[in-house]
Amino acid sequence: MIDGSIQTFSLTLDAILDHAAKWHCDTEVVTAREGQDNARVTYAGLRERAKQVSAVLAGFGVTAGRRVATLAWNTQAHMEAWFGIMGMGAVCHTLNPRLTAVQLAWMLDQSGARIVIVSADLAKLALEVADHAAGVERILVIDGVAATRHPRAVVETLDDLLAAAEGEVPWGRFDETSPSGLCFTSGSTGAPKGVTYTHRSSFLHTLKMLAADVLAARVDDVILPVVPLFHANAWGLPFAAPAAGSKLVLPGRHTDGASLARLIAAEGVTVAVGVPTVFLGLCEHLDATGAALPSLKRIILGGAQTPPALMERLERQLGVTVQNSWGMTELSPVGVFSTLGDIDGRASVSGRPALGVDLMLADETGAPLADQRDQEGRLHVRGAAVIERYFGQEQPATNADGWFDTGDLARIDHKGNLMITGRAKDLIKSGGEWINPSEIEALVCALPEVSLAAVIGKADAKWSERPLLLVELRDGAEITDQALLDALRGKIASWWIPDAVVRLPAMPLAATGKIDKLSLRATYGAG
């Protein structure tokens, strides 16, 4: 007996743009431009230009497996570079422009990328990076003209090269397990680590994103990724939007409240995605102007814990549904999404995992907890888009059973909802006992006067460490230190209550938009 068979369909990312260009050919990708009309291209046009990028890179000797870096904002040209690099089988190494030239050069030395594609307003930074990274041979400028020169690296305008590009580079003729992207972690606990994405992992991640209780993108959606393209693949949105045929709106470099409000109103954005601090700025702008955004239906938050007061404010002020999510660079990055309509404790709930992601709570040794519900443990993850080993490292990042230790502390409730309760590295040890800053921060952030809050350990001669509360208040809000601390009494152990309060005009934020606790510890953590 001869069994039947199914066609082989390689799960490579070029197939996603091919699909969008064929079946959603007139759907637009829009880019905001300061002082000008928004730029527009269809998915069919984006594919054509991305193919030209491949031809230019091939002319410079780029072949499958070689890494090409991008240092750019969320724009059409950056997306063209993405698909042009990945479609030909090369690896897109995204760089975060909020890092220093020395940090970026170190990453380029690790990846071996010789070509950097850079936004015009980041060209000066790119030149500084090239000063420190001897391997950089060519800088290709997008979203503007190459108005600078470098004593060693060749600096050119990519648009000029696209116009002269000849020939066509075949896409997708490589194995689906080939690397497609490289993103370095923020290095908050040591040197940054490189996470390599494959075509297969990102394709499967895209299918997960399209699920009804995850992104749930539809052909009539207009999706605004405020999360940067250089931050863990913009959470997979540049793949999920064309896969669903959704219109994609890119904000460029300006993500302040006023710029986002104009863009959402002008393009009829229905779904906006980013870190909580971004939407706090949007709310403040709408408060000041009295404007409304009737097209906006959903906001998806991730990257940091959402203060309950902010979630309530977004839903009340904008008339939207807010979804929480949790993920990591090492997860490609989405791990769990809160379910639409499930409102029980949503401010503290990140959500359930989609198909292809599994969760496990363990003790300090990595052994699974006997009861996986309503117990706090160290969160481990495994799945089709979860890291196995870091770039350039021989040792796996997982244990013998394939579990990756996220470093997060978490609970899973009886419904299967994940609640992140803190970071193991953020725990404060006072008098030999542990204090969890996240629990204190959640209570303080629930106060309507508070915009952002952070708790760090401050060195103490008697107790080793004591908690210190740092707050940023909403504009015009007033509250005493005593009232801030009184909000904690009876809700946490008395010895958990911070010894002092520090008021900050603006909370320091890391390159990913999260509160920069490294900076806070350096400034306020000494005895």
Residue with tokens 């029980």: 344
Is 29 part of a structural domain of the chain? no
Assign residue 501 the CATH number of its domain.
Answer: 3.30.300.30
Does the structure show a pLDDT above 70 at 521? yes
Select the more confidently predicted residue: 167 or 43: 43
Does the structure show a pLDDT above 60 at 501? yes
Residue with tokens 């997979």: 236
Catalytic position from the list 100, 429, 433, 491: 429
Active site residue 326: no
**Whether residue 415 is found in the same domain as residue 457:** no
Mean pLDDT of 141-152: 94
Active site residue 434: yes
> Are the C-beta atoms of residues 382 and 404 closer than 8 Å to each other?
yes
pLDDT at 372: 97
Does the structure show a pLDDT above 70 at 341? no
**Whether residue 209 is found in the same domain as residue 298:** yes
**Whether residue 223 is found in the same domain as residue 306:** yes
pLDDT at 461: 78
Q: Which burial class, exposed, middle or buried, applies to 462 when counting CB atoms under 10 A from its CB (0-12, 13-18, 19+)? A: exposed
Is 280 part of a structural domain of the chain? yes
**Whether residue 415 is found in the same domain as residue 519:** no
Does the structure show a pLDDT above 70 at 342? no
Residue with tokens 């902010």: 310
Does the structure show a pLDDT above 80 at 513? no
What is the biggest distance separating any 2 CA atoms in the chain, rounded to whole angstroms?
81
Of the candidates 266, 264, 302, which has an alpha carbon nearest to the alpha carbon of residue 283?
264
By percentage, how much of the chain surpasses pLDDT 90?
77
Distances in Å between the Cα of 326 and the Cα atoms of 182, 323, 331, 412 are: 20, 10, 10, 13
Q: Specify the DSSP class assigned to residue 144.
A: S
> Are the C-beta atoms of residues 409 and 378 closer than 8 Å to each other?
yes
- What gap in Å lies between CA 109 and CA 90, rounded to an integer? 17
Which residue range(s) make up the domain with 455?
427-524
Assign residue 297 the CATH number of its domain.
Answer: 3.40.50.12780
Assign residue 97 the CATH number of its domain.
Answer: 3.40.50.980
The side-by-side arrangement of strands in the sheet containing 500-503 is 450-460, 464-473, 500-503
- What gap in Å lies between CA 224 and CA 237, rounded to an integer? 9
Tell me the per-residue pLDDT of 219-236, one tens digit each, with 9 for 90 and over. Answer: 999 999 999 999 999 999
Is 261 part of a structural domain of the chain? yes
Specify the amino acid at residue 59: G
**Whether residue 299 is found in the same domain as residue 324:** yes
> Are the C-beta atoms of residues 279 and 299 closer than 8 Å to each other?
yes
**Whether residue 149 is found in the same domain as residue 207:** no
How would residue 161 be classed by pLDDT, with cut points 50, 70 and 90? very high
- What gap in Å lies between CA 211 and CA 297, rounded to an integer? 18
Of the candidates 226, 263, 268, which has an alpha carbon nearest to the alpha carbon of residue 247?
268
Mean pLDDT of 126-132: 97
Is 409 part of a structural domain of the chain? yes
Of the residues 407, 424, 441, the one at which a domain ends: 424
Q: What angle do CA 261, 262, 267 make, to 5 degrees?
A: 105
Mean pLDDT of 468-479: 93
307 contacts: CB under 8 Å, gap ≥ 6: 276, 347, 442, 445, 446, 450, 452, 453
Residues 328, 329, 330, 333, Cα dihedral to 10°: 70
Catalytic position from the list 28, 80, 176, 330: 330
pLDDT at 397: 97
Does the structure show a pLDDT above 60 at 269? yes
pLDDT at 188: 47
**Whether residue 221 is found in the same domain as residue 302:** yes
Of the residues 159, 174, 189, the one at which a domain ends: 174
Q: Which of 165-174, 303-312, 458-467 has the lowest mean pLDDT?
A: 303-312
Residue 222 has which token pair? 């207009």
How would residue 484 be classed by pLDDT, with cut points 50, 70 and 90? very high
How would residue 190 be classed by pLDDT, with cut points 50, 70 and 90? low
Of the residues 140, 174, 208, the one at which a domain ends: 174
Catalytic position from the list 12, 27, 70, 185: 185
Is 335 part of a structural domain of the chain? yes
Query: pTM for the complete prediction?
Result: 0.86
**Whether residue 116 is found in the same domain as residue 251:** no
pLDDT at 422: 80
> Are the C-beta atoms of residues 166 and 144 closer than 8 Å to each other?
no
Residue 430 has which token pair? 């006072």
Tell me the per-residue pLDDT of 38-85, one tens digit each, with 9 for 90 and over. Answer: 999 999 999 999 999 999 999 999 999 999 999 999 999 999 999 999
Does the structure show a pLDDT above 90 at 488? yes
Peptide bond into 333 cis (omega under 30): yes
Dihedral over Cα of 212, 384, 302, 219: its sign: negative
- Tally the domains of the chain: 3
**Whether residue 109 is found in the same domain as residue 69:** yes
Active site residue 297: no
**Whether residue 51 is found in the same domain as residue 128:** yes
Residue with tokens 């040591």: 190
pLDDT at 463: 81
- What gap in Å lies between CA 430 and CA 462, rounded to an integer? 9
pLDDT at 304: 72
pLDDT at 187: 54
Does the structure show a pLDDT above 50 at 189? no
Mean pLDDT of 171-194: 86
Is 354 part of a structural domain of the chain? yes
- What gap in Å lies between CA 208 and CA 216, rounded to an integer? 9
Q: CA Rg, the chain, in Å?
A: 23
How would residue 347 be classed by pLDDT, with cut points 50, 70 and 90? low
Is 457 part of a structural domain of the chain? yes
Active site residue 284: no
Catalytic position from the list 100, 168, 415, 434: 434
**Whether residue 165 is found in the same domain as residue 282:** no
Does the structure show a pLDDT above 50 at 180? yes
Is 182 part of a structural domain of the chain? no
Average pLDDT, the chain: 92
String of b and e for 169-182 (b: at least 16 CB within 10 Å)? bebbebebebbbbb
Tell me the per-residue pLDDT of 300-339, one tens digit each, with 9 for 90 and over. Answer: 998 777 777 788 889 999 999 999 999 999 999 999 999 8
Q: Which burial class, exposed, middle or buried, applies to 307 when counting CB atoms under 10 A from its CB (0-12, 13-18, 19+)? A: buried
Mean pLDDT of 458-471: 88
**Whether residue 139 is found in the same domain as residue 121:** yes
* CA 331 distance to own-chain centroid: 11
- What gap in Å lies between CA 302 and CA 294, rounded to an integer? 23
* CA 419 distance to own-chain centroid: 19
Q: What residues form DSSP beta bridges with 273?
A: 225, 300
